[in-house]
A and B are shown apart, each in its own frame.
Chain A
């Protein structure tokens, strides 16, 4: 299937899901559940990630008739995931730094990723896990997912200045943690 055909198939699934077709939505869930889960894992850690992913996909289903396609479906789903992660995290009151992807890194790594690259990534994941939840969310959205300051601030419900300050502090802390790990 070419990229164009994949896009076309997704648009068809979206059109059907928007009118309440559960089977079509199931296919969309199959396509996006891993990326939604990964984002949730990076934001809230393994304890809450599955709950966040499930709630985000359910919210997406409810809101689907309002999806206008201004952003891609993936971007829209990611926004919902960030929003859900923030809501559930607040509810769970888990403000302390939690062990994050370090618990699951072996599961996602393929054998060919072994070596220095995998080590660097594992080090980064450990360092990310050591940040405060607020710093981690900003650095994940800005530096891992490439969101703008404005988007990051809007989805996290903070001002752009706060987002910039958190990002700067998070990057400094990451560098310190990585240098300390060497």
Chain B
């Protein structure tokens, strides 16, 4: 029967807990599993050497589509938009508070008068 630690160890992402690591040190099944995992990772890394030729028309299509360049940082525009949105929300909240305060004051002065 398969040791539960074997299946646990093979299913844990990232760093292995000490118990699972100690188990793997003594378990031939887990060592074989780890070796298979390494083989797959090596195979995947080797795929990086395969380069597929782009379609012949790609460069022409890109050069035909070139428009203006944009030196402005898109992130700044985004930050400015977010800041404007927050400022508008804050303004609205302040106006609501002022209106509420004024209403309360009016009620208070009416009650006194």
Q: Which residues of A contact B (CB under 8 A)?
A: 20, 22, 25-26, 29-30, 33-38, 41-42, 50, 53-54, 57-58, 61-66, 101, 104, 107-109, 117, 120-121, 124-125, 139, 143-146, 164-165, 167-168, 171-172, 174-175, 178-179
Contact = CB atoms under 8 A, between A and B. Distances in A.
Nearest to A60: B62
A22 B63 contact: yes
B67 interface: yes
Nearest to A22: B66
Contact of A37 (B46, B58, B66): B58
A124 B59 contact: no
Given A64-B69, A164-B13, A168-B13, A50 B58 contact: yes
A69 B60 CA distance: 26
Contacts of A20: 69
A161 B62 CA distance: 37
B36 A175 contact: yes
Interface string B31-53: 00000110011011111101111
Nearest to A56: B62
A145 B46 CA distance: 10
Contacts, number: 115
A54 B64 CA distance: 11
Contacts of B14: 164, 168
A73 to B, nearest CB: 15
Contacts of B45: 143-144, 146
B61 interface: yes
B58 A33 contact: yes
A54 B53 contact: no
A143 B52 contact: no
B18 interface: no
A62 B69 contact: yes
Contacts of B74: 63
A150 B86 CA distance: 29
A121 B63 contact: no
Nearest to A166: B13
B54 interface: yes
Nearest 3 pairs of A and B residues by beta carbon: A168-B13, A37-B54, A143-B44
Contacts of B43: 120-121, 124
Contacts of B47: 42, 121, 124-125, 144
B102 to A, nearest CB: 45
Contacts of A63: 69-70, 74
Nearest to A33: B54
A50 B55 contact: yes
Contacts of B36: 175, 179
